[in-house]
Amino acid sequence: MTKIVEEFELYGKQYRLETGELAKQATGAVLVTCGETSVLVTAVVSNQERDYDFFPLTVDYIEKMYAVGRIPGGYLKREAKPSDHGTLVARMVDRPIRPGFPDGYKNEVHIVATPLVIDDENLPDTICVAGASAALLVGGAPFDGPAAAVRIGRNAETGEFIVNPTNTEMETSDLELTIAGTADYISMVEAGAEEISEEDMLAAMTFGQEAIAAFCEKQSAFLARVNPTPMDYTIHAADPSVAERVDAHLAEMSAALKDADKAARMGKVEQLKASIIENDFTEEERATWGSDIKAALKSLEKRAMRAMIIETGERVDGRTPEEIRPLYIVPGYLPRVHGSGLFQRGQTQVMSVCTLGMLNEWQRLDTIWPEEGKRYMHQYNFPPYCTGETGRMGAPKRREVGHGALAERAILPVLPDTDTFPYAIRVVSEVLESNGSSSMASACGSCLALMDAGVPISAPVSGVAMGLIKEGDDVVVLSDIQGIEDFLGDMDFKVCGTPNGITALQMDNKARGLSVEILARALKQAHEGRAHILKAMLATIDGPRAEMKETAPRIETIKIPVDKIRDVIGSGGKVVRGIQEETGASIDIQEDGTIHVGATSGTAMEAAKAMILGIVKEPEVGEEFEGEVVGIKDFGAFVKLTPGKDGLLHISRVANGRVGKVEDVLNLGDVIKVVVLEVDPKTGKISLDRLDKPDAPEGSAPARREDRGHGERRERRGEDMRPGRAGRTPRRRHESN
């Protein structure tokens, strides 16, 4: 294939699609560029059908630090496992691409997105979706595209929507909406917002769908120039008798599904499936049609559940479509931790725990994204036991990273700034039971934990997951979906927010023909569900606690002159380490002279603050100090006034009367009271006088002049006392030779 390039401008930004030069052994490869950000996206489609009961699509987003001109951190100096950002991008690509393949297609598909260059303004994630779509279509894959993704921002002052805003444009945006799909339907939505209304969010989604259609049109023009050859493929078709035998048990499946208890319901369904396999199929048929029988049984369960809702309006647990499961909410569930909250909705139970720390405990990020780190960290854990299963526990999977990011995004808009609350904040949500909507339970649990910890959030946050059952023109929107409704339904639409508006949402859509009217209905129903849940939360804790827990660190902020930072840190950090070791406090020093002092003890806090302020304090004339004698010379003693300042107490002022030697009155380590007599404006040297002077001891007066030795008299006359030169007078420089 010859090199083909399509350049175009949309919504004020330049784009480029290119194929035919790079990675030519892949099924399809496209270099997609926005500004100077370029990502190579390859797609490989296996020519061998797999015996799976699912579509085997794999998406990898491989971050390359060279793309931003940096060397990876760590010992290996090589890119290792994907960052959370990288994992989220891979999920973003997977979700709009997966529905575009035909049902029953079981050839393995592997998409790899590799960012080659990242400029300072244009992010690579949304263009990866267009690159994946174009790479598949260039290779002739059976993909129902084109598909694209856009990020929608909104200027907070003008209200104008921005397509794929730059990093600079995002600084003034109160919305970050990522939406993906085709020209005809939306398949994926992610959003974070500063409490915007449902109407504004719907308007942004409608605008985003129009922008996607424009990008799909440009992609079609590119593909028309490529003129790809469609690949030959087959769709696996099961023997018709499989579905006939399984479908005969629809009434039995409907009866088995009617149980509010998840474990009991799953037990009945699995027992029925096992009975159908055993009694309706021979051993030879089971061996031949194994995956087909499993697929037919799954389809039977899906049809029974959906028919129940469409025809009767009743869900498997007996709820109406708008009804929320019973709630059990306990803030402050755990002792000693800084904050905690137990949130249970039906058979989904999440324990969220909040930990407060110094700002220097923020999470530093070594990625290709402009974000250097984050002060608020939310982590979501989904162990196997929460669904009654066994399994291996290790690094968080894509689902855990995605759910954690959603709950984090939901809370961020209501957090206080560092000037108001100078803490790093970590919340961990442990899913203890799961039957759907665990991500929304973690958002609610996180809000409880933050309020229990005394974090002054601006408004409480709650969340709910919405579902959809769509059969032809029949549409039912479900509030607070459980696992089976997510798995067998058409939509998983999670909405978080405060009473003032939406802070985050996420949607995966399996149903084509999802209209704006359906989305509006889902948002309205979600608003009602969020309000119901939030009312129950506030009945247990009406806002952030006025006092933090005794175990939480207290952090106070002080400001020092920038030129004093070196004095507080000391050579090699010696001074600040000494303060921390002596007091037990933690100290975080900023470049602008802001110092955060943290300690769980008030005594430690005050001691550390006093030491820091003492270092930077400039003694003034007339100010009194109680200081330690840290040095003794013939002419006087040096007294430590502050950790960074000494003053000179002349020998004439150490006692009442004449003193021959300072040691007759003072010793190293003595603590005495002094007053500042003078501060030299040029050198900063400090002269002191002693308060409460003792009388000079007898015999301490200096020797009389006539009693001094000859050597002393000659030295005072200026005679040269070096060996061999006794009695000579040193020659003056102005004397002639």
Q: Which of 139, 141, 148 is nearest to 32 (CA)?
A: 148
Q: Are 223 and 548 in contact, with CB atoms under 8 Å apart?
A: no
- Quote the pLDDT of residue 540: 97
For 67-87, letters b (16+ CB in 10 Å) and e give: bbeeeeeeeeeebeebbbbbb
Please report the DSSP string for 226-268 in residue order: H-PPPPP-------HHHHHHHHTTHHHHHHHH--S-HHHHHHH
Sign of CA dihedral 723, 727, 730, 735: negative
Query: Looking at residue 723, what is its pLDDT?
Result: 41
- State the Cα–Cα distance between residues 395 and 543, nearest whole angstrom: 34
Largest CA distance in the chain: 132
Distance (Å, whole) CA 46 – CA 363: 40
**Is the peptide bond prior to 72 cis by the omega test (within 30 degrees of 0)?**
no
Is 707 a residue whose pLDDT tops 90?
A: no
Q: Are 141 and 27 in contact (CB under 8 A)?
A: yes
Q: Residue with structure tokens 């899913």?
A: 431
Which of the pair, 513 or 468, is modelled with greater confidence? 468
* Residues 267-283 pLDDT 10s: 999 999 999 999 999 99
pLDDT tens figures, 24-53:
999 999 999 999 999 999 999 998 888 777
Pick the closest to residue 354 from 435, 280, 447 (CA basis).
Answer: 447
- Here the tokens at position 561 are 């002159």
Evaluate if residue 491 carries a pLDDT over 70.
yes
Stretch 520-542: mean pLDDT, rounded? Answer: 96
- Give the residue carrying structure tokens 């070594």: 366
Q: In angstroms, what CA-CA distances link 526 with 17, 175, 272, 498, 533?
A: 39, 19, 35, 12, 11
Structure tokens at 256: 């088995």
| pLDDT bucket at 112, cuts 50 / 70 / 90 | very high
Asked whether the predicted pLDDT for residue 460 surpasses 90, the reply is yes
pLDDT score for 726? 44
Q: What is the pLDDT of residue 101?
A: 92
> Rounded mean pLDDT of 444-451?
97
The pLDDT score that the predictor gives to residue 715 is: 42
Helix (H) or strand (E) holding 464: strand 462-471
- Whether 663 shows a pLDDT value over 70: the answer reads yes
- DSSP lists the bridge partners of residue 205 as none
Cβ-based neighbours of 722, under 8 Å, separated by 6 or more:
none
- Rounded Cα distance between 115 and 113, Å, is 7
Q: For residues 426 and 375, what is the distance between their CA atoms, to the nearest angstrom? A: 8
Instruction: Report how far residue 603's alpha carbon sits from residue 628's, in angstroms, rounded to the nearest whole number.
Output: 22
* Interatomic CA distance for residues 583 and 609, integer angstroms: 10
Distances (CA, A) of 444 to 120, 635, 647: 35, 71, 59
What order of strands is seen across the sheet that includes strand 327-331?
327-331, 339-345, 348-357, 424-433, 376-381
Q: Cα-flanking dihedrals φ and ψ of residue 535, to 5°?
A: -60, -40
C-beta of residue 474 within 8 angstroms of C-beta of residue 313: no
Place of tokens 């929608």: 152
Please check if 486 is assigned to a binding site. Answer: yes
| pLDDT for residue 279 | 92
- What percent of the chain shows pLDDT beyond 90? 62
| Res 9: pLDDT | 96
Q: Could you report the per-residue pLDDT of 136-156, keeping only the tens digit for each?
A: 999 999 999 899 999 999 999
Asked if 75 and 4 touch (Cβ cutoff 8 Å), the reply is: no
* Residue 94 annotated as binding site: no
Tens digits of residue pLDDT in 408-439 = 999 999 999 998 999 999 999 999 999 989 99
Checking if the pLDDT of 733 tops 60, the result is no
